[in-house]
């Protein structure tokens, strides 16, 4: 037994090394807009002592003055920039670390709930999963939230077993900190409460231990609310609604209105044809979806305590995504992937043991196939975007753009051109950039502009940029250079001087 424990730790160490080497390879490829505006508040916090997005000068939502990003996420990103320097690779290193923590705590949770064999395969599935891979190399909060929720979940399960009020309180604190990473962490409070009810019944909600958990969560949540109100003084509620709830120029409301048949149908269509369609469409993922559905159904009928806890966590998020979350980004599923992948590993071993006892190696072969195909998908991702290295792309832009220029372009390029006076079309209209901010350099042809119709709404006057501004610049400006890239777009850089 001790020999097996040592071997499992060695395997976990090898898995972590593989994850770090493979996921960190060409870490600056395929930079997306979110990474710039999520990095900006951390940068301005370090340099100006406030959290804002300077490229959104005069933004109607006020993000050039105050950006209500989750504070813990901003602070941790600021620490990464302070230690490693500012840049896309440095920011992504933080995501890489949280991906590593997700692997480790998946192993620990699966080992605690099942055994070392399931723990090893679960952590291997997490280490190679396409979306864990993608979010672990992107400056976005999903992987941060996944790691924090795992820690809170582990402590909560141990609190149930030990009937420890202290552990329940710590779990609540950790869950509150997860909300500081991303607001979707609030959903986990409902999931944890349902798990508690599944253990003790509805009367259990009157137990002191549950209120220890709720108190820990409330302490952090109330401090978050105070933080928001202090930051937004004197605008307060209206300002909060502007950045969190109401429809803005950028995209639709973050939350749907409740209990409307129209939005229930519309939201379900978004779940099916956007979130889950994207989940399947990543290379080699149809079989992952099919195995996931099987694992959920099998766990539902197996009446296993551990499976029940995992199912509650998974299904609570799936239902909440449908009922209240307007954003149908597939990456949100990363939050529940560790629990789903543990469920897949445990279901595979239990199913074949129960119904096909003679095929002892069948679950190992099945899970190994999933792991290998996910590695293949990740390799294909790196090959597909091999020419989208951000730093080399920005260097080509800098060769063309004169020093100390005021630039107008997509927010994505701000990460590499922050030393310029840079204005992003996602937050600044063309007319304002030209007439009020005296922008002289304009970047046209970017992927963001070319895909503008897919958002269904216009980024201020960016549709005008897409459809008519090239003619304007041919007449009033000068094309000073071109940069072609299969991912970022075939750019033309114009000067109005």
Here the tokens at position 264 are: 């229930």
The tens digit of pLDDT for each residue in 406-445 reads 999 999 999 999 999 999 988 888 888 888 999 999 998 8
| 54 pLDDT more than 50 | yes
Omega into 350 within 30° of 0, i.e. cis?
Answer: no
Of 187, 115, 192, nearest in space to 159 by CA: 192
Here the tokens at position 405 are: 């220029």
Separation CA 195–CA 312 (nearest Å): 7
Here the tokens at position 189 are: 């409070």
Instruction: Give phi and psi for 482, each to the nearest 5.
Output: -135, 145
pLDDT for 233 equals: 54
Q: Does residue 185 contact residue 175 with C-beta atoms inside 8 Å?
A: yes
Q: Does residue 348 contact residue 120 with C-beta atoms inside 8 Å?
A: no
Of 320, 322, 298, 319, nearest in space to 308 by CA: 298
**Any idea which of 192-201, 219-228, 297-306 has the lowest mean pLDDT?**
219-228
Percent of the chain with pLDDT over 70: 88
E strand or H helix that includes residue 19: helix 2-23
The tens digit of pLDDT for each residue in 100-132 reads 999 999 999 999 999 999 999 999 999 999 999
Omega into 322 within 30° of 0, i.e. cis?
Answer: no
pLDDT for 494 equals: 93
Considering the chain, what is the average pLDDT of its residues? 87
Confidence of residue 454 (pLDDT cuts 50, 70, 90): very low
| 455 pLDDT more than 60 | no
pLDDT for 194 equals: 97
More confident residue, 47 or 9: 47
Strand ranges across the sheet with 478-485 = 421-424, 406-409, 441-446, 489-495, 478-485
Percent of the chain with pLDDT over 90: 64
| pTM of this structure | 0.91
More confident residue, 231 or 163: 163
Confidence of residue 473 (pLDDT cuts 50, 70, 90): confident
**Any idea which of 13-17, 301-305, 358-362, 377-381 has the lowest mean pLDDT?**
358-362
The tens digit of pLDDT for each residue in 61-76 reads 677 887 776 788 899 9
Of 160, 143, 150, 188, nearest in space to 316 by CA: 188
The tens digit of pLDDT for each residue in 215-264 reads 999 999 888 778 777 766 555 566 556 555 544 333 444 555 556 677 78
pLDDT for 449 equals: 78
Q: Does residue 484 contact residue 429 with C-beta atoms inside 8 Å?
A: no
E strand or H helix that includes residue 492: strand 489-495
Separation CA 330–CA 62 (nearest Å): 28
| 57 pLDDT more than 80 | yes
Instruction: Give phi and psi for 345, each to the nearest 5.
Output: -65, -45
pLDDT for 457 equals: 36
Task: Give first-to-last CA distance, the chain, whole Å.
Answer: 75
| 43 pLDDT more than 80 | yes
């Amino acid at each position: 037994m001790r020999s097996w424990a040592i071997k499992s730790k060695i395997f976990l160490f090898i898995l972590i090394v593989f994850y770090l080497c493979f996921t960190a390879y060409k870490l600056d490829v395929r930079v997306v807009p979110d990474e710039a505006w999520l990095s900006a508040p951390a940068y301005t916090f370090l340099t100006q002592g406030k959290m804002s997005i300077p490229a959104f000068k005069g933004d109607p939502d006020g993000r050039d003055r105050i950006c209500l990003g989750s504070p813990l996420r901003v602070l941790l990103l600021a620490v990464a920039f302070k230690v490693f320097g500012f840049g896309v690779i440095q920011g992504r290193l933080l995501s890489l670390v949280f991906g590593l923590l997700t692997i480790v705590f998946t192993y620990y949770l699966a080992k605690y709930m099942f055994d070392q064999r399931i723990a090893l395969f679960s952590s291997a599935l997490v280490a190679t999963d396409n979306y864990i891979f993608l979010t672990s190399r992107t400056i976005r909060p999903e992987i941060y939230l996944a790691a924090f929720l795992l820690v809170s979940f582990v402590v909560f399960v141990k609190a149930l077993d030990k009937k420890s009020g202290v552990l329940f309180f710590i779990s609540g604190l950790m869950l509150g900190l997860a909300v500081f990473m991303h607001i979707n962490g609030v959903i986990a409070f409902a999931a944890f409460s349902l798990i508690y009810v599944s253990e003790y019944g509805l009367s259990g909600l009157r137990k002191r231990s549950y209120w220890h958990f709720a108190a820990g969560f409330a302490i952090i949540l109330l401090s978050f609310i105070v933080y928001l109100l202090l930051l937004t003084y004197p605008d307060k509620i209206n300002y909060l609604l502007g950045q969190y709830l109401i429809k803005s120029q950028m995209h639709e409301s973050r939350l749907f209105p409740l209990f409307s048949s129209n939005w229930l149908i519309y939201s379900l269509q978004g779940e099916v044809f956007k979130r889950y369609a994207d989940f399947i469409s990543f290379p080699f993922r149809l079989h992952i979806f099919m195995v996931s559905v099987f694992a959920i159904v099998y766990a539902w009928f197996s009446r296993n305590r551990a499976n029940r806890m995992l199912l509650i966590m998974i299904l609570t998020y799936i239902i909440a995504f449908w009922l209240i979350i307007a954003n149908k980004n597939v990456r949100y599923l990363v939050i529940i992937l560790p629990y789903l992948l543990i469920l897949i590993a445990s279901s595979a071993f239990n199913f074949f043991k129960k119904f096909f006892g003679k095929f002892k190696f069948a679950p190992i072969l099945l899970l190994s196939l999933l792991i290998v195909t996910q590695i293949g998908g990740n390799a294909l991702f790196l090959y597909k975007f091999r020419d989208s290295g951000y730093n080399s792309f920005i260097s080509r832009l800098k060769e063309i753009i004169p020093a100390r220029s005021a630039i107008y372009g997509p927010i994505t390029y701000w990460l590499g051109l922050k030393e310029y006076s840079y204005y992003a079309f996602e937050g600044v209209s063309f007319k304002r950039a030209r007439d009020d901010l005296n922008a002289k350099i304009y970047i046209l042809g970017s992927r963001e502009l070319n895909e503008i119709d897919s958002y269904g709404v216009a980024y201020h006057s960016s549709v005008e940029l897409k459809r008519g501004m090239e003619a304007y610049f041919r007449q009033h400006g000068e094309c000073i250079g071109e940069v072609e890239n299969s991912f970022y777009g075939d750019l033309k850089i114009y000067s109005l001087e």
